[in-house]
């Protein structure tokens, strides 16, 4: 009952924005759960790594209508949906690849719920805590450092980088390392538990960003398990 109520309330909020209604026409709901973390920011550019079908980009397109949005999504089906959602919007661009330390072709583990897909193997704990996210298949995708797609002087300031890559956060940040000084804010989903095999957990990601001059300013959307405690959350950092 509570889940149905939450969905109903979210739908009502999504109907208040023409941009968000545009997403709904394509079956994509803007990720308005990020409003508490981001609504007071004023980015001129947003780099969205792990875009899926454009949920985060839709949220940003409404909240920050003057910002340029560059999204990265390596899976063909979500990427195709993203392009349909944003067709004709000149300030939004999609690059169909993953971000990582090296430029190469690599394997991605596709979840039955594709927004849970990862470049790391899906663990039994992930499937247990989030039913329906089991491995469906693998595919070959392209990965590259962020600098292969964006020049440093093309990043309009102040800029926000968002990373939601299902356990691959530290590797994605390594792929962004040279350009991270160009960003004022970093917004990263991190896990407290190993949901993907070999993933770096929240303390390691936080330490990496702190070493580069970012400080954590907030934790949002925390997911907690009754038995295991904190599972994952979204972390906001500012330089």
CA 114 → CA 11, 51, 109, 110, 193, distances in Å? Answer: 22, 11, 9, 6, 20
Considering only the top CATH level, what class is 2-105+145-238? alpha beta
Q: What angle do CA 62, 66, 69 make, to 5 degrees?
A: 75
pLDDT digit string (tens) for 137-169? 999 999 999 999 999 999 999 999 999 999 999
Say if residue 3's pLDDT is above 80: no
pLDDT digit string (tens) for 198-209? 999 999 999 999
CA neighbor of 97 nearest in space, from 140, 60, 136, 54 = 140
- Looking at the chain, the whole-number percentage of residues with pLDDT higher than 70 is 99
| Tally of CB atoms within 10 A around 139 | 14
- pLDDT-derived band at 70 (thresholds 50, 70, 90) equals very high
Q: Residue ranges of the domains in the chain?
A: 2-105+145-238
Say if residue 65's pLDDT is above 90: yes
At 153, is the secondary structure helix, strand, or coil?
helix
Q: Give the span between the Cα atoms of 43 and 224, in whole angstroms.
A: 30
DSSP-assigned letters across all residues of 183-217 = -SEEEEEEESS-SBTT---HHHHHHHHHHTT-EEE
Sort 227 into a burial class: Cβ within 10 Å, 0-12 / 13-18 / 19+: exposed
**Average pLDDT value for the chain:** 96
């Amino acid at each position: 009952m509570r889940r149905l109520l939450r969905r109903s309330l979210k739908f009502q909020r999504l109907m208040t924005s023409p941009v968000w209604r545009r997403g709904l026409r394509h079956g994509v709901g803007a990720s308005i759960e990020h409003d508490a973390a981001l609504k007071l920011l004023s980015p001129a550019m947003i780099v969205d790594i792990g875009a899926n079908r454009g949920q985060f980009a839709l949220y940003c397109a409404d909240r920050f209508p003057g910002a340029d949005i560059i999204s990265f999504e390596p899976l063909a089906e979500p990427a195709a949906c993203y392009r349909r959602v944003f067709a004709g919007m000149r300030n939004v661009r999609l690059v169909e690849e993953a971000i990582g330390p090296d430029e190469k072709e690599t394997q991605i583990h596709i979840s039955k719920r594709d927004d849970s897909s990862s470049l790391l193997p899906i663990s039994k704990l992930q499937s247990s805590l989030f039913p329906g996210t089991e491995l469906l298949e693998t595919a070959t995708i392209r990965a590259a450092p962020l600098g292969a797609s964006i020049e440093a002087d093309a990043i309009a300031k102040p800029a926000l980088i968002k990373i939601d890559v299902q356990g691959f956060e530290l590797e994605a940040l390594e792929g962004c390392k040279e350009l991270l000084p160009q960003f004022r804010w970093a917004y990263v989903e991190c896990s407290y538990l190993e949901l993907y095999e070999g993933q770096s957990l929240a303390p390691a990601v936080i330490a990496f960003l702190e070493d580069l001059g970012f400080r954590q300013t907030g934790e949002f959307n925390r997911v907690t398990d009754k038995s295991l405690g904190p599972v994952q959350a979204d972390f906001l950092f500012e330089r």
